[in-house]
Structure 1
Amino acid sequence: MTTYHFIGIKGTGMSALAQILHDSGEKVLGSDIEKRFFTQDALEEKNIPIFPFSETNIKDNYTVIAGNAFSDDHIEIKEAKRRGLTFYRYHEFLGEWLKQYTSIAITGAHGKTSTTGLLAHVLNDTFPISYLIGDGTGNGHVDSEYFVFEACEYRRHFLSYEPDYAIMTNIDFDHPDYFTSIDDVFNAFQSMADRVKKGIIACGDDEQLQQIQAKVPVVYYGFADTNDFQAQNVVETDEGTEFDVFVRNTYYNTFTIPMYGDHNVLNALATIAICHYEGIKAEDIKNLSTFQGVKRRFTEKKVGSQILVDDYAHHPKEITATIDSARKKYPDKQVVAIFQPHTFTRTKTFLQEFADSLNLADEVFLCDIFASAREDSGNMTINDLQKLIPDSTTLELSNTDILQEYRDSVLIFMGAGDIQKFQKAYEENIKINK
């Protein structure tokens, strides 16, 4: 029996993949830094051993899978190669593993994780499936029919996959440390489209996606009446959002999702379109209404008269969408944005766009830029962004109590770095002051 050793097992994709292999009956263990990550809980629940990094972790006969964050001179990678072990990078292994199933890749600049979660939730109620979600959730089944997985465009990693289907949510310029322009991003998605074997489900409201050329059928979804799957009569209710779906201009059915905002309706439409294409009954697709959400995507907590929201939004379009969700769900509350930019390159590239999207909130607090280990600041600081947002305030871990002033408000903690430590500090502050 093969033993799989994961180098960097606490990474979101890595921990999800480790869980899938474990659930599929394989022997799994891994290593990482000592710091605790939210992905650890699920690994510990499944009794998957986690060790601190050391070359002594690498044993003969192991198959080694390394996270993309680690370079070839990492001590464990060097040891695995010295021993001549079977060695994969995360995306390489995933590309091999999914060949056993009807695979559905979910990709796009925004909305990947939420759409993967939604689709996995609906299919999981009807079939034995495996799924890998970018929030660190992974689930395997020995008899899986479908493999639903999030496929990331960063460094063109998604070109390691040849899925049966691909859902493409949008094409947008992000990861400016790697992509040179929107055309460069488009070319990556076009290359991905060429690798899909059965069909593509794409958002037809996205101008870039309308240009994709494919050898397989392309089914479009969106709000515009030119789409194959169209949402109409969108209504916000206390339970969430209700909308009618028309398939090629003919009424199909009415669906409810427990979320708010147009971006969530689009994610649901993508799920409805692929399920319809695969012949799944409307009644089964309606399980969308019981979706519990994914980690760090509008994750709410009520504290006193305030709603605290933890969200991964780290691109201007995602910030706009998250603030829109808060406005639609809590139309009578003030919206306070607490934002930590992620990487200097992204902050510099989108400086004005960040300011424009954050200005949609009633109050804005800014945390120091979360730096990637691979980049230089180029003299960029949070003050460069603050200058573009009138009346915004910088927030330190030591002065989070200032947020207590915003009673009966929605406080959105946004970012892809360690913004959660600010929310944690604030919650502890409130406890102490009670």
Structure 2
Amino acid sequence: MNLNQYKNMYFVGIGGIGMSALARYFNFRNVNIFGYDKNRSNLCLDLESENININYSDNIDLIPSEVKENKKETLVIYTPAIPKINQQFSYFKYNRYKILKRAELLAKVTEEHFTIAVAGTHGKTTTSSILAHILYNSDVDCTAFLGGICSNYNSNLLLGSTNSLVVVEADEFDRSFLTLSPDIAVITSIALDHLDIYKNKENLKIAFAEFINNIKSGGTLFLEESIDTTIIERDDISVLKYSTSTITDVSSKNIFIEDEIMHFDVLFKDEIVTDFKLKMGGEYNVSNALAAITISKKLNVSNDNIVKSINSFEGIERRFETHISNNEVVFIDDYAHHPEEVEKSILAVRNMYSDREITVIFQPHLYSRTKDFMEEFATSLSLSDKLILLEIYAARECKIEGVTSDILLQKCKVKDKKLCTKKEVLSLIEKNEVDVLLTLGAGDISTIIKPLKDKLL
């Protein structure tokens, strides 16, 4: 399949973070880009400003004539988040357009490039963004498809030349990462998730083993130290481990926090590099940075450039993003939507502001995940001083009987806890004194971040 044969691309679900990066990429490559999304989000508005044609009603009459009249020259891309009953997607299937999943298109893009794939249940976006920033800031020809908006570039796409190396996130959902055959891979974590896909952790580990088997012969796997190495069944690739807690191939040392900045040094086998300053809280983010540092070192980026790049990294939207920080109030927003991520995020805030009261607003993401990890979520959320739970964000799912935010709230061992709708949050915050506010979730909780910030300022 030659992508150059397509003059038009139509993205069904173009507002998704991964879909929008691909749309931007091909828009820059002078392909005519069109798309549908149910929400006119800020990201969609940005795409519109880049002359991308988007419609927001699931109506086949809104599909442009350029797409309808040029079937052979049009490639349709969809996200698994699109429901099967979507009329536009059904139109393309019925009329036998060439259709690819987002992951399949990403794999096609990487086929002719030296590719670095970042996998792991947690930390993909932060690791990919830091790595891309180091490479870009060190004049390495690099294209990066990111799962978040990198603050240094205000984009989820970094664009290199047609011959650049490519950094991608290898998403385990729907086994999408198995479409990739990278030269370098990193696995940041393997925690049980997506039980609707994998059923149990053993199946998840098998999928990660298959991902490792797709690394090109002679390639390199970077592995967080705590990950079980029995998933590696290859002797034709190099394996390097990294850790923030033990001495291994690459380790971080002397981690401490000062003025909301994570300070640390990095110990390689034959040298120590000092004075790293990361503007993201939490030791887990140091681990993500360490993965990016280790890969950069492998690519012969100088120590000076690595340190300067880490220290100039401004973060990613909705990844432990600090909106307000003063003696009166602190407001941090994070994408955490798995119980392990929730725990790490709250503990990171606790470590930074140990003598202050933490209010957590959490929006559960998916009925299935809430059902599968109800007890674990309750344990993690109980680390807060005050808790506000929003209704479950369904995303691609239908409701599951007996799975509600109210049941989760009852299980949380927090004295001051409330259940409210998204619309009620602002008035609730206004009536209650807030010291440190932490918003968590991967759903449309993102739409209340700016109003909350405005209210607290």
Under a length normalisation based on structure 2, what TM-score does the superposition of the two structures give? 0.87
Instruction: Name 1:409's counterpart in structure 2.
Output: 435
In the TM superposition, 1:8-407 aligns within 5 A as 8-23=13-28, 25-52=29-56, 53-55=58-60, 56-57=63-64, 58-59=67-68, 60=70, 61-71=73-83, 74-125=86-137, 126-135=139-148, 137-197=156-216, 198-206=219-227, 208-209=228-229, 211-214=231-234, 215-238=236-259, 240-248=261-269, 250-286=271-307, 287-302=309-324, 305-390=328-413, 391=415, 392-396=417-421, 397-398=423-424, 400-404=426-430, 407=433
Q: 1:372 to 1:259 in 2, by over 3 A?
A: closer
Q: 1:372 to 1:40 in 2, by over 3 A?
A: closer
Deviation at 1:425, TM superposition (A): 5.5
Q: 1:239 to 1:302 in 2, by over 3 A?
A: closer
Instruction: Name 2:3's counterpart in structure 1.
Output: none
Amino acid at match of 1:33: D
Percent of aligned positions that are identical:
28
Deviation at 1:280, TM superposition (A): 1.2
SS of the residue corresponding to residue 196 of structure 2 reads coil
Distance 2:242 2:294 in 1: 7
SS of the residue corresponding to residue 222 of structure 2 reads strand
Q: 1:426 to 1:247 in 2, by over 3 A?
A: closer
SS of the residue corresponding to residue 300 of structure 2 reads coil
Contact 1:130 1:139 survives alignment (8 Å)? yes
Deviation at 1:27, TM superposition (A): 1.6
Deviation at 1:26, TM superposition (A): 2.7
Q: 1:34 to 1:157 in 2, by over 3 A?
A: closer
Contact 2:83 2:396 survives alignment (8 Å)? no
Distance 1:200 1:222 in 2: 14
Amino acid at match of 2:15: K
SS of the residue corresponding to residue 411 of structure 2 reads coil
Deviations 1:318-366 (A, max 9, x none): 1112112222333443211111111121112111111111111111111
Deviation at 1:422, TM superposition (A): 4.4
Amino acid at match of 1:175: H
Q: 1:381 to 1:26 in 2, by over 3 A?
A: same
Aligned length: 429
Q: 1:128 to 1:22 in 2, by over 3 A?
A: farther
Deviates more, 1:89-98 or 1:363-372: 363-372
Deviates more, 1:163-172 or 1:326-335: 326-335
Deviates more, 1:317-326 or 1:140-149: 140-149
SS of the residue corresponding to residue 198 of structure 2 reads coil
Deviates more, 1:356-365 or 1:62-71: 62-71
Deviation at 1:36, TM superposition (A): 2.1
Unaligned runs of 5+ in 1: none
Deviation at 1:284, TM superposition (A): 1.2
Contact 1:171 1:209 survives alignment (8 Å)? no
Distance 1:106 1:285 in 2: 18
Distance 1:238 1:226 in 2: 27
Deviates more, 1:421-430 or 1:194-203: 421-430
Under a length normalisation based on structure 1, what TM-score does the superposition of the two structures give? 0.91
Deviation at 1:421, TM superposition (A): 4.0
Deviates more, 1:422-431 or 1:152-161: 422-431
Q: 1:39 to 1:144 in 2, by over 3 A?
A: farther
SS of the residue corresponding to residue 280 of structure 2 reads coil
Unaligned runs of 5+ in 2: 1-5, 150-155
Deviation at 1:170, TM superposition (A): 0.4
Contact 1:7 1:67 survives alignment (8 Å)? yes
Deviates more, 1:321-330 or 1:90-99: 321-330
Deviations 1:94-130 (A, max 9, x none): 1111112211111100011111111111111122311
Contact 1:232 1:246 survives alignment (8 Å)? yes
Deviations 1:160-212 (A, max 9, x none): 11111111100000112222111111111000000011111110123x35643
